[in-house]
Amino acid sequence: GYRVSLQGNFFGRNHKYVTFPVYNPRKHIKLDPPLNLQSNATASKCQIWWSVWNVPWYLVEILQYELQYKEYSMSWEVALNKTPSSSLPQIEIEATELRSGIAYIARVRCKVSENENSYHSQWSDWSQTIVFQRADLPKLSEKTLNTTMQLLFIPLSFGTLLYLFWNCKLSSSCFLTLGQKVSPALTFPRQLLSFSHSIVCTMGTSR
């Protein structure tokens, strides 16, 4: 720790004022703002990452960040805040949190994590901003759509023909089977005629 005092000549007299009886620099840190913000937006999420400058290596792993973003035309007073879950200098924004076709602007600041006891800091100034926009799902062109429909039509047509052919084959098999079962009945009238003829002949002989 240090003892910090202010000394000067006031109205011809030397005066000394003790500003901080015990001053510990590690408890009064203010970091430089993050820099080099970059983004990569897809249809499902937007990734934003950055880097830090002039930060000792033993502080890099205990930093916490806060990202603030808003629609480009809105005021920062209505901006939304997001905090990464780790000390990594990156964050993701889900596509459901962004409106399609709208440009957004974001900025980041950092400080030593509040869970750290050995060091303490205030928030840094905000970084420079970055503009990003949610990526929409690619739309199929009319030519691609027609080609896709043609490719789907061929197997569907082939499947339909196979289905009709199989049904017709089953129907023919059933018809033949039924015909075989009914065929003895179809010969019954001939047997009846032969039997009647025999009866007539027998009766004629008896006479």
Cβ–Cβ < 8 Å for 120, 112: yes
* Residue pLDDT, tens place only, 86-130: 899 999 999 999 998 899 999 999 999 999 989 999 999 999 999
Given this model, what pLDDT does residue 170 score? 59
What is the arrangement of strands in the sheet containing 63-71, beginning at the earlier edge strand?
80-82, 63-71, 103-112, 130-133
pLDDT of residue 65: 97
> How many angstroms separate the CA atoms of 68 and 51, rounded?
16
Instruction: Give the span between the Cα atoms of 150 and 5, in whole angstroms.
Output: 85
Burial level of 79, CB count in 10 A (0-12/13-18/19+)?
A: middle
Domains of the chain, start order:
1-27 (no CATH), 31-134 (2.60.40.10)
Higher-pLDDT residue of 79, 198 = 79
Mean pLDDT for the stretch of residues 77-91 = 94
Which of 118, 134, 129 minimizes the C-alpha distance to 59?
118
Contact in structure between 50 and 67 (CB atoms under 8 Å):
no
Euclidean distance between the first and final Cα of the chain, in Å? 152
pLDDT digits (tens, 9 = 90+) for 48-72: 999 999 999 999 999 999 999 999 9
Q: Where do runs of H (alpha helix) occur along 83-141? A: none
**Separation between Cα atoms, residue 62 and residue 113, nearest integer Å:** 6
> Predicted confidence band at 150 (pLDDT cuts at 50, 70, 90)?
low
